[in-house]
Amino acid sequence: MDGFLFWQSFLSGISNASIYALVALGLTLILGVLDIADFAQGALYMLGAYGSFYALELFGVPFFLSLPLIVVLVGLVGVLNYAIVYRPIHRVGGSGTFIAALGILFIVQNVALVVFGTTPHTLASPFGKDKFFFGAVILTYHKLFVMVATLVIVLAVGLFLKKSKTGKALRAMAQNRTAASLVGIEVERVALITFALAGALAGVAGVLVSPIRPFDTYIGSFVIIKSFAIVIFGGLGSVSGALVGALIVGLAEAMTAVYVSSEYSDPVAFVLMILILFVRPQGLLGKAVT
C-alpha cells in the first residue's frame, strides 16, 4: 500500500509540475530579459483555459485544434500588454511595471468575471476517461499527454534559446541588456518575442489543465503567485532553476497531500521559497550577486 501511495502521488506531482513549469518558464524569461515580474501571466493562463473551453462549447473547435489557436491569440495578448503598458512604464524605471502587472491581472479577472460568470468549468478531455494501469497505480491518458506535451515544449524552447539567432539574442539580453544593444541586437524586437513566447506558454498551460481540474476566473491569481515562488526558489532569471523548482514543488505538494494532509499542500511552494532564501538567497540555481 505504501508503494502504491508513493507512485500514485509521484505521478500526480509530475502532472502538477508540468503546468507549473510552463508558467514559471515564461515568467522567468521575462524576468531575465526585461526584469519585469509579469503577474499578468496569470490572466493569460486563465484566458487559455476559457479560450479552449468556449472554442469547443460555442464553435465546436476540437481540443487539439484549439491549442495552436490559443498559442497565437494569448501570445498576442502578451505582446499587447508589453507594447501598450509595460514598454512606456519600463522606460521610466522604478516599480511601476510591478504595479501595472497586478493591475492588468485584476482588471482582466474582473472583466472575465462579468463575461464568464462565477460558475466553475471543466473542459471535456479529448481522451475521455481512459486510463493507464501500472499495477494498482492509475494515470489518465490526459495527464500523460500533459507530461509529454510539457516535455516537448520545454525541449523546443531550450533548442530555440540555444540554436536560433533570436534565442541567442534573448540570452544575450538576459546577461546584459546594454551590451546587447551596443552589439546591434534589436532590443524591442527581442522584448516583443519574449512576451509572445511567455504568453503562449501561459495560454497552453491553461488549455492543458482545463480538463484536469475545474477552473474559474480566479484560477490565474493562485497559479502565478505559486509560479513566482517557484521562480524565486529556482533562481531569478534561471531557466533551468524554474524547471527544477517546478518539479520539486510539484512533487512536494503531492507527497504532502498524501502523507500529511491536503490542507498543507498548497503552502509548500512558499515554505520552500523561504527556506531556500535562508540558505541560498540567489535561489537553487541562480547566480550570486557580487
pLDDT tens per residue across span 234-283: 988 889 999 999 999 999 999 999 888 888 888 888 998 899 889 998 88
Each residue of 146-162: pLDDT tens digit?
999 999 999 999 999 99
Distance (Å, whole) CA 251 – CA 233? 14
Distance (Å, whole) CA 13 – CA 6? 10
Amino acid, single-letter form, for residue 163: K
Task: Give the per-residue pLDDT at 93.
Answer: 65
Q: State mean pLDDT over 211-238.
A: 91
Contact predicate 268/253, CB 8 Å: yes
Which single residue is written with the C-alpha cell 491569481? 221
Task: Give the per-residue pLDDT at 1.
Answer: 47
Phi, psi values for residue 201, rounded to 5°: -65, -45
Strand partners, 131: 140
Distance (Å, whole) CA 19 – CA 149? 10
Task: Give the per-residue pLDDT at 90.
Answer: 80
Residue 105 grid coordinates = 491581472
Distance (Å, whole) CA 275 – CA 78? 32
Choice among 89-93, 111-115, 144-148, 251-255 with the minimum mean pLDDT: 89-93
Q: State mean pLDDT over 189-195.
A: 94
Q: Which of 1, 6, 4 is nearest to 251 (CA)?
A: 6
35: CB partners within 8 A, 6+ apart? none
Residue 214 grid coordinates = 475545474
Q: Is the pLDDT of residue 123 over 70?
A: yes
Which single residue is written with the C-alpha cell 504532502? 256
Distance (Å, whole) CA 115 – CA 102? 20
Q: Is the pLDDT of residue 145 over 70?
A: yes
Confidence of residue 211 (pLDDT cuts 50, 70, 90): very high
Cβ atoms within 10 Å, residue 267: 14
Confidence of residue 28 (pLDDT cuts 50, 70, 90): very high
How many Cα atoms are found within 13 Å in the side-chain-facing hemisphere of 249? Answer: 35
Contact predicate 256/160, CB 8 Å: no
Q: State mean pLDDT over 132-141.
A: 86
Contact predicate 184/172, CB 8 Å: no
Scored b (16 or more CB within 10 A) or e, 16-35 reads: bbbbbbbbbbbbbbbbbbbe
Q: State mean pLDDT over 188-194.
A: 94
pTM: 0.93
Task: Give the per-residue pLDDT at 289.
Answer: 52
Contact predicate 212/142, CB 8 Å: yes
